[in-house]
Structure 1
Amino acid sequence: MYINQLIWIVILSFMTFTGCSGGQDIAKFKEGLVPVKGIINIDDKPVEGTQITFTPEETGAGRFAIGVTDETGKYHMMSPPGGSNIKPEDFPGVKPGKYRVTFSRFLLENGSVWDSRNSEEGPMNVGAKETIPVKFTNANTTSFTADISPTGNEALDFRVKSMAKR
C-alpha cells in the first residue's frame, strides 16, 4: 500500500474514533477553530488538486486538519470529525498550535488530477502517480511546519518542488 494512502487511512480512522464517535456534540467540535488559508505553489506555479494535511506536533495539542487547492492554488483548512454524513467544509479552520505539514498531488496518465473525493479507487489502482517527493508526503520526514496563532493565519503560503524538478 502506498505511504500516502496509509497516512489517509490512519488519519480518517483516528478522526472516526476520536471525532464523532459516542455522539459528540458537533457544535462543540467546531469550538476553537481559527481560519487558515493560503496558496500552495508547486514548482513556482499555483496548481489545482494538491492535498495539504496538518498533523499536530504533540499528541493532544491539536487535531488533524485537511485542505485541497483550487485551480488558483488557494486552499483553506478544515478540521472535520470522523463519521458518516460529515461535510468537511462545515468545519472550517484549525485548532491553534504547532503542526507538521504534508502535501500530496496525484496525476493520472493523461495529466489530470486524481481526486480522492470523487474516486472509488485508490490512486495507484487507476494509474495515478504521486508528484510530490516522498519526504514531503510523510509527517515524520517533512521539513514543512505551521504555527497556527489563536487568531488564525490568513496567508500561510507554501512553495514545494515536485519530483520532476528534483
Structure 2
Amino acid sequence: MFVRKNLVFALLTLSGISIGCVQSKTEPAYFADLVIVYGKVTLDGNPVSGATITFIPADMSQSGGIGTGVTVISGDYDLTTPQPGSLESQPKGIVPGNYKVTITKLQMPDGSPVPEGTDDAMAMAMDAREAIPAKYSDSDKTELLVEVDHTSPFVQNFELKSE
C-alpha cells in the first residue's frame, strides 16, 4: 500500500538521520550488540513469499532503529538494520528490545503477485490490494509484539490467520 511504503520510508529516513547524528569514523557501538533475527511467516499454514517484515521499536528512543526484511518463497526471512549506503553493506540483525511488527504484501485483485519491478504507487494504480490482514499489516493495528533478547540467533516465526 502507498501509505505503507511512505511509513517504511519515513521510518528508514528517521533511523538513518538518528544514526547519522551519532556516527563517527568508527562503527556505532550498538552494532556490536546486534542480534541475528530470522524466522518464517505463514498465513493459514502456507508460507508467505515476497512480504516485507518490519520490526519497529516500541520506544522510538531505542538506539539502533528499525529492522526490516523480505520473505522468500519458503516464507523465511532475516532482518537487517537499514543504514545509509549500499544494500550489500547493511548490517545483519537488530538491537535487542521491544518491537511492534508489521508484515505487508501487495497482490493483484485476482490474487496474483504484483508484476516484477512495479513500485507500490503503480501497483495501487493497478488496483493492487494488501494481502495480509490489517491486524498484522497496519502499523496502528498490528497485534504482533516481540521482545528480542540478547540470544543470537533469535528465531521468531509468525503464524498468521486470515480474518
TM interval, shorter chain, is 0.7 to 0.9
TM-score normalised by structure 2 residue count: 0.82
1:86 match: 86
Q: Is the 8 A contact 2:12 2:66 kept in 1?
A: no
Number of residue pairs matched?
159
Deviations 1:39-98 (A, max 9, x none): 0001211121111110111122242110111110100011021x3x42166310010001
Which letter does structure 1 place at the counterpart of 2:136?
A: F
Moved more, 42-51 or 23-32: 23-32
Structure 1 alignment gaps of length 5 or more = none
Q: Is the 8 A contact 2:16 2:82 kept in 1?
A: no
Aligned-partner Cα distance in 1 for 2:137–2:100: 10
- SS of aligned partner of 1:11: helix
2:132 match: 132
Moved more, 97-106 or 136-145: 136-145
2:70 match: 68
1:6 match: 6
Aligned-partner Cα distance in 1 for 2:21–2:126: 32
Which letter does structure 2 place at the counterpart of 1:90?
A: Q
Q: How does 1:1-166 map to 2 (within 5 A)?
A: 2-20=2-20, 24-25=24-25, 27-28=27-28, 30-62=31-63, 63-81=65-83, 83=84, 85-87=85-87, 90-109=90-109, 111-113=112-114, 118-120=117-119, 122=121, 123-161=123-161, 165-166=162-163
Deviations 1:105-159 (A, max 9, x none): 11135602466xx444523134321111223223332111111111235321001
Q: CA deviation at 1:27?
A: 2.9
Aligned-partner Cα distance in 2 for 1:11–1:114: 26
- Identity among equivalent pairs (%): 23
- SS of aligned partner of 2:135: helix
- SS of aligned partner of 1:19: helix
TM-score normalised by structure 1 residue count: 0.80
Q: Is the 8 A contact 2:148 2:154 kept in 1?
A: no
- SS of aligned partner of 1:16: helix
